[in-house]
A and B are shown apart, each in its own frame.
Chain A
Amino acid sequence: MAQEYKLILKYADEPGYTPDIECYLRHGGYADLKKALAIAPKDLADGKKLSPQEQIREDVKISGLRGRGGAGFSCGLKWSFVDRKSGKPIYLICNADESEPGTFKDRQIMYKDPHQLIEGMAISCFANDVHLAYIYIRGEMVDGAKILNEALKEARAKNFLGKNICGGGYDLEMHVHRGAGAYICGEETGLIESLEGKRPYPRIKPPYFPAILGLWMCPTIVNNVETLCNVKHIVAMGGAAFAKLGTPNNTGTRIVSLSGHVKKPGYYEIETGKATIGELINDPKFGGGLRDGRKLKAVIPGGSSAKVFKAGEKFKLKKKDAEGKEILVETDMLDLPYDFDSLAAAGSMSGSSAIIVMDDSTDIVEALANLSEFYAHESCGQCTPCREGALWMSKTLHRLTHGEGRAADADYLVKIADNIPGGRTICAFGEACSWPVQSFVAKFKDEFVAKGAADEARHAKQVAAPVETKELAAAHH
C-alpha cells in the first residue's frame, strides 16, 4: 500500500520543530554541507582527478533528480549545460516564486524548514562554483521572505554562509529577493529579468539560455526550492541510494499538493511513482476520498496548467511483462502512478505536483473560466499569441458563463487555443494557458455545447416573443 515517505518534510511538521538554526542543528543540520566541503579529490583509473565539485555534480546525475518546478528536467543535465569556461561568475537562483494554482509545497519548506533550503543551495552552489546566489521568493509570501532573511542571518553568523565557510576555503553569499506579484516571474528567464530590475519578460532562447547567458548575461542556474533541498539529501545518502527511492527515471520523493473536493486536502510527500492518483485522492492516509455522496468528475494532475483528466478515462501505458517484453496495459486514470513519465504518457504532466480534484458538483465550464481568467491576467503580454489569445479565451468563457454563450463556442475556444502553444510563444506560458482550454473542451465538450445552446435557445425565445416588434413591422407596411 502507498505510504507517505518523508524525506524533505521529515521534521517540518514535527511538534516543536522551529525554523531557527538551533533547531535545525539539533536535527543534524548543515552536516551535509560540511560533508560536501570536506570531499577529497578522487583519483580516477585513467589518472585524472575528479574535483569535489565534479563528484557532487556526478552524484546528482546518478541520483536521477528531476526538477520539481514543473518541467521535470534532469537537474544533473541542467548543471552540465553551465558555461564554466566563460570566465564570468556563475550564479544560482532558487526559484521560490511558487505560483502555479494548486501548488503549496515549496512554501512548507521555506516557512518551516528554511535552513534545509539554504543548506541545499549552499551545496549546489559549491558544486557549481557559485559564490553569489539569490532566492527569488513570491511577493505574496511576505512571512516567507522574513523567515528566509532571518535564516540567512543565522547561517551567516554561524559561518555556513560568508567567507571561508566552515573553514573549507569556500565563499558564498545569498540574498532573498521578493517578487512583485506576477506569475510569469516563475518562468526562469522572466525571473532573471525581474531580478535584474526589469519587467519580467521571458527571454528568447536562443540565445539567452540561462546556463550561458543568464543573470547579468552570466551563466546561471535556476532551480526550484524542492529540487535544491533534494541535493542536500543526495549528498547525505549518495546519488545511487537516492536513485533507489521512487521508481526508475522518477527518483526521489515528491511533495504533492492535494486540493479541491477531497476530505483531507493538504500536502503529502511520497516516493515518486509509489502512489497512484487514486490512492492520493482516496486513501485515508492521503486525501481520504471525496465528500460523502459525491462522485469524481475531473482531476488536474500537475498544477492548473496541466491537461485535465476525466473520471473514468483510460490510457494505454507501456509496461514490461514478466518476460521483460513491452506490452500496452490499459490503465484507469486513477491507477496512474503519480510520477513524471506515467502522467506524460497519459497526455498530461505531473508539473508542480499539484492535484486539483473536482467532484460532480463542479460546473466544468465555470472551472475553466476561472482558470482562464487567471491566465489572461497573468500573461505578460510580450508575445502576440499568448497576449491576445489568453484574454480572448477568458472573454469567451466569461460570456459562456454569463448567459451569452453559443453552441459553437466550444469549437471556437479550441481554435483560439490551438494558435497559442507548440513553440509559437517565447515561453511555456503559451502552453500553460491553452492546455486547460484544449483539454477541458476536448473531454467535456457536451457541457460546453449544452451551456452555449441553452443560452441561444433562451435568446431565441426572447427575440421571438415581443409583440410590439410585429406591430411595428405591420405599421410599416
Chain B
Amino acid sequence: MSTAATTEIKPAPPVEKIKVKVDGREIEVPKTMADPISGKPIPTTMIQACELAKQEVPHYCYHPKLPVVGNCRMCLVEYGMPAMGPDRKPVLNADGSPKISKMPRPAISCATPVSPGMEIYTNTPGVKQMREGVLESLLINHPLDCPICDQAGECKLQEYSVDYGQSASRFVEAKVHKPKAVDLGPRIMLDAERCILCTRCIRFTRDIAGDDALGIVNRGSYNTIATFPGLPFDNNYTLNTVDICPVGALTSKDFRFKMRVWFLKETKSVCTSCATGCNIIIGSREEKIQRYTPRENDAVNGPWMCDAGRLNYKWIGREDRLKDVLVRGQKSTWTAALNEISDKLKKAPAGSVAIIASARQTNEELWLISKLKAKLGAISDSIPRDGKGDKILVSADKNPNTNGARLTGICFTEMGINLVKISDGIASGKIKTLIVFGENIVKRAVANEKLRERETISEVVDEHGITAELLQKLDTLIVSDILPNETTKLAHYVLPGAAHAEKRGSFTNTKGRVQKFMKAVEAPGDARAEWEFLHDLVHNVTGQNGFVTIEGLFNQMAKEVPAFNGVTWQALGDTGLTVQI
C-alpha cells in the first residue's frame, strides 16, 4: 500500500504492558487505555482485559464509549491477586509460581483496574450465581412483554436470560408499576417499566451529546428516567439512546411497532446527509428501508449518528420516484436514450458541453463523469450545499462526497465557482448541451428539510445565474436524478438514478476517509445506478472500455486518481481508509 492511504491508527507512545490471567489463560494487556471521554490514559479495567482475551463478560450499564458507573452489577467477577508475605514479597508455590490468593469479595469488572499477576475468574459457580441473582432482580419488576416489545430480538435481557435466567419465576409479589408510553421528546418514547436503570441514556446525553436532559426521579425500585418538567428530550442525538438502551425502555417513535428486528436485512452503508459520512446499517425488508442505525467506526462516528441523518431515508421510498427513462417527455428505454445521447455528445464540438455533477454521487460515478468531461472538453462543477454543523458529528457541508468531486476533478476546491461560467456560456450560446446529475439546478436560496418541528438539516444553495428560462436556450438538457423536480421537468432526457441505498460505491468524507457502501434495496422501475449507465455512456462516447463491476471500477479509478493511488476496493474494508486530500 502506498503512503497516500493510511489507516486512522496513529503511533501512540508505547504503553507499559502487564500480564494477567483470564480464566487461566495468560495475556498481556496495556497498563492504561484511553478514557472514552477525555482520551487521557486511565488504568485498564478487568472487562477490557477480558475483551482482549476474547472472554465476554455480560453487562448492562457498561458501555466502552461512556463513563463507567458500575450500577448493573452484571459484570461482577471473582479474582485473585499474588499473595504477599509479611516481608511484602510474593509468596511462591512449591513449583516456584506465585501463590494466588482469591479475594473474598467479587469486583465489578467494568471499574476494577487490572494489576500485574491478577487472575480474573469469569466462569466460576459463584460468578454464575451472582449473574443469576442480578438477572432475577432485573426481571421481577419487568413487564415481560416481549411479544409486543420493539427490542425483542436485540434485547440484552432476553440474551442473558438464555444464559442466566430461570424458566419459572419465584416472585409472587405485585410488580412495581411505572409510567408507560412516556413522550420524552419528539423522537423518543419511554416505557419506564421495561427500564433497568442502567443510566446509559443519561450518560450519553450528558457526556457525549452535551445536553444534560435526562435524569432519575423517585427512589429505590420506583426510580424512573425522566426529563425536566416542560423540557422535552430534544437534541440532534436523542435516537442514539435507543441504540444503547439494552432493553426496550427507550424506543424510536419512527421505528416502534413497525417491524420485528429479526426480519430486517442488514446492509453496511454510509449516511449521506452530510460530509461526515457516519457509518450506518440499513435495516430493510422486502425492498423497503425500515431504519438506519449507526455502525461503529472509531475513525468517523464512533458508535453514534445524528437524528437528522438517521431519519433521512424516507425520500428513498417515495411514490413519485423517477422510474422511467424519458426522451422529450416520452417513455423510452435505456438503450435508445443512451444511444441518442451518445450520438449527440460524439458530435458536440469541444467546449459546447457543460456538466453539473453532484457531490452526492459516488467517487466512481464522478470519476466516470470526469472521463466524459475530458473527452468532451467540457466545463464542470457541482452544487455546494452548506448548512449548520456542530462539534459532535454534523458537518456544515451537506454533500457526502465533496472531496470525491474535488479529487476526481469535477469541481475546484471552491465548489460552485464555475456555475457562473456555465450560465454565461449558456446565455452566450456557447454551451449548447448541459448534463446534470442529481441536482435541481434551478432551486434557489434556502431549502429546509424538516425533522418534525425542529430544523436540523438546512441547506443553502448559492446564488448562481442558471434559471429555467436560461435552460430553455439549450439544445440538449440531459438530467439524471432520483426524484422529480423543476430541472427534470425541463430535461430532454431524463435518466432515473438510484439512491445510495440502491447501489454500491464509495464516498470520500470531509477528512478524506474513503468509505464504501453496499446495496440494500432495489431501485424502483427502470431506475439504474448511475455508475452503470455512465459506464455505458463513457464507453459509447470515448470508446474506452472499463470495468463493469464496482470493484474493478474503483481499482481502476484508484490507479488513475493520484489521491486514491494504492487503495483497493477490498482494502477499504468495512470502515474505510483515509487518503490525503
Interface on A for B, CB 8 Å cutoff?
182, 199, 201, 204, 206-207, 376-385, 387-392, 395-396, 399, 406, 412, 415, 418-419, 422-426
Contact = CB atoms under 8 A, between A and B. Distances in A.
A207 B71 contact: no
Contacts of B71: 201, 382-384, 426
Given A206-B113, A378-B220, A387 B137 contact: yes
B77 to A, nearest CB: 11
Contact of B219 (A380, A406, A423): A380
Contacts of B108: 204
A351 to B, nearest CB: 19
Nearest to B105: A423
A412 B140 CA distance: 14
Contacts of A388: 137-138, 140-141, 221
Contact of B174 (A377, A384, A385, A395): A395
Given A204-B68, A419-B133, A384 B221 contact: no
Given A381-B223, A384-B137, A425 B111 contact: no
B327 interface: no
B219 A385 contact: no
Given A422-B105, A423-B107, A391 B138 contact: no
A231 B503 CA distance: 77
Contacts of B548: none
B237 to A, nearest CB: 23
B196 interface: yes
Interface string B196-211: 1100000000000000
Interface string B263-302: 0000000000000000000000000000000000000000
B220 A376 contact: yes
B137 A389 contact: yes
Contact of A390 (B68, B105, B216, B221): B221
B453 interface: no
Contacts of A396: 173
B220 A387 contact: yes
A383 B106 CA distance: 15
B72 interface: yes
Given A396-B173, A424-B106, A384 B220 contact: no
B445 interface: no
B222 A384 contact: no
Contacts of A382: 69, 71, 197
Contacts of B76: 423-424
A419 B134 CA distance: 8
A199 B216 contact: yes
B168 to A, nearest CB: 14
B20 to A, nearest CB: 16
Interface of B: 43, 68-74, 76, 105-108, 111-113, 130, 133-134, 136-138, 140-141, 170-174, 176, 196-197, 215-216, 218-223
Given A199-B216, A395-B173, A424-B133, A383 B221 contact: no
Contacts of B113: 206-207
Most buried by B among A377, A418, A419: A419
A283 B107 CA distance: 45
A249 B312 CA distance: 70
A380 B220 contact: yes
Nearest to B74: A384
25 contacts: A199-B215, A207-B111, A376-B220, A376-B221, A377-B219, A378-B220, A379-B221, A380-B220, A381-B197, A381-B221, A381-B223, A384-B74, A384-B196, A385-B134, A387-B137, A387-B221, A388-B140, A389-B137, A412-B170, A418-B133, A419-B130, A419-B137, A423-B76, A424-B73, A424-B130
Contact of B137 (A201, A378, A385, A399): A385
Contact of A391 (B74, B105, B176): B176
A380 B217 CA distance: 10
A379 B133 contact: no
B72 A383 contact: yes
Given A384-B196, A424-B76, A425-B73, A182 B134 contact: no
A394 B453 CA distance: 46
B173 A392 contact: yes
Nearest to B173: A395
Contacts of B215: 199
Contacts of A199: 215-216
A395 B140 CA distance: 12
A383 B133 contact: no
A385 B136 CA distance: 9
Contacts of B197: 381-382, 384, 387
A330 B530 CA distance: 92
B220 A379 contact: yes
B548 to A, nearest CB: 57
Contacts of B138: 384, 388
Contacts of A423: 76, 105-107
A378 B43 CA distance: 33
Contact of B140 (A207, A377, A392): A392
B215 to A, nearest CB: 8
Nearest to B199: A382
A90 B106 CA distance: 31
Nearest to B112: A206
Contacts of B136: 419
Contacts of B171: 392
A198 B134 CA distance: 26
A383 B220 contact: no
Nearest to B217: A199
B68 A381 contact: no
A422 B172 CA distance: 25
Contacts of B221: 376, 379, 381, 387-388, 390-391
Given A207-B111, A412-B170, A391 B72 contact: no
A199 B141 CA distance: 23
Contacts of A378: 219-220
Sorted nearest first, the 9 A-B pairs with minimum C-beta distance are A423-B105, A419-B133, A388-B137, A381-B223, A395-B173, A391-B221, A379-B220, A204-B70, A381-B220
Contact of B173 (A381, A390, A399): A399
A330 B542 CA distance: 105
A406 B170 CA distance: 13
Nearest to B126: A422
Contacts of B74: 384
A380 B107 CA distance: 20
Contacts of B130: 419, 424
A2 B255 CA distance: 73
Most buried by B among A377, A380, A381: A381
A423 to B, nearest CB: 3
A471 B215 CA distance: 57
A422 to B, nearest CB: 6
A204 B220 contact: no
Contacts of B170: 412, 415
Contacts of B140: 388, 392
A365 to B, nearest CB: 16
Given A385-B137, A424-B106, A424-B134, 9 more contacts: A378-B219, A379-B221, A384-B138, A399-B173, A406-B172, A419-B133, A419-B137, A423-B76, A423-B105
